[in-house]
Amino acid sequence: MKNMMNLSDIYTKNSDFYRSEEIFQQYVNQYQQYMRSLSTKQLSRECISGLNRLQRQSLRSSSQLNIHVRVGDVCYIDFGQVYINEAGYQHFGLILSMVNHKAFVLPMTSNSTTYQYANDPSRIEHGKTHLYQLGWIEGLNKQSVAFLNDCRFINTARIIAVKGHIDADGEYFREIVERVKESIFP
C-alpha cells in the first residue's frame, strides 16, 4: 500500500495531535479501501462486528444486556475482527469457565467440511487434532466442531444469545475440557 506510515514509528516517537491526526487519516483511508475490497458476506460480518463493538465495548458483562450465562452454555458470540487462522466474527462458542465477568470460551463452527476433518470422540487418533467433533448439541440446528486451539477469555458482552447447554457436571463436558487441556499443554 502506497504512502503507508511505518507503524513501528508510532511506538518509538512521541505522539502529538498532528501525529494522531496523521495516524487517524491513514487508518480511515486504509480501512475504506479494505472494506471496498470485501465480498458482500465478508463486508456484512465485518460491519456487524464493528457495530457490536461500538454498542457493547463499554459494558462490563452480558448481564447488562439481560443475557445471563453460565458454564456449559453454548452461545452465539461476536469474536470480533481477526487475523488469519483465528476464530472471529460471529460463531458459536461453549463457555468452559467464568472468571470476573469474563468467559473462557471454546469457539465452534457447523461448517460441514471442517466437521469432516475433525477428531471425533470415537476415533481420537484420526483427523486434525486442533478440531474436535462435538456432534449434535441440543438447541443447535447442525452438528458442531470445536476449534481447540482458539480458546480464549472474552468479555461476556460479546455474547449475542444463549442457544444451548451442555451439563458442566457431566462426563461429556469433562471430556471436552480434557481435550482442550491436551491441546494447550501437549
Domain boundaries, the chain: 11-58, 61-184
Residues 97-124 have pLDDT tens digits of 999 989 999 999 988 888 888 866 565 5
Which residue type is seen at 71?
A: V
Q: What is the pLDDT of residue 118?
A: 83
Residues 153-164 have pLDDT tens digits of 999 999 999 999
Cβ partners under 8 Å of residue 69, min gap 6: 62, 75, 95, 98, 103, 156, 159, 162
Q: Which three cell numbers stand for residue 136?
A: 449434535
Q: What is the pLDDT of residue 1?
A: 45
Q: What is the pLDDT of residue 20?
A: 81
CATH code for the structural domain at 61-184: 2.30.30.110
Model pTM score: 0.84
Q: What is the pLDDT of residue 17?
A: 52
- pLDDT of 82 higher than 80: yes
Nearest to 178 by CA among 161, 186, 112: 186
Q: Which three cell numbers stand for residue 156?
A: 461476556
Residues 26-68 have pLDDT tens digits of 899 999 999 999 999 999 999 999 999 999 999 999 999 999 9
Q: What is the pLDDT of residue 86?
A: 84
Distance, CA of 117 to CA of 110 (rounded, Å): 12
Nearest to 103 by CA among 138, 151, 55, 147: 151
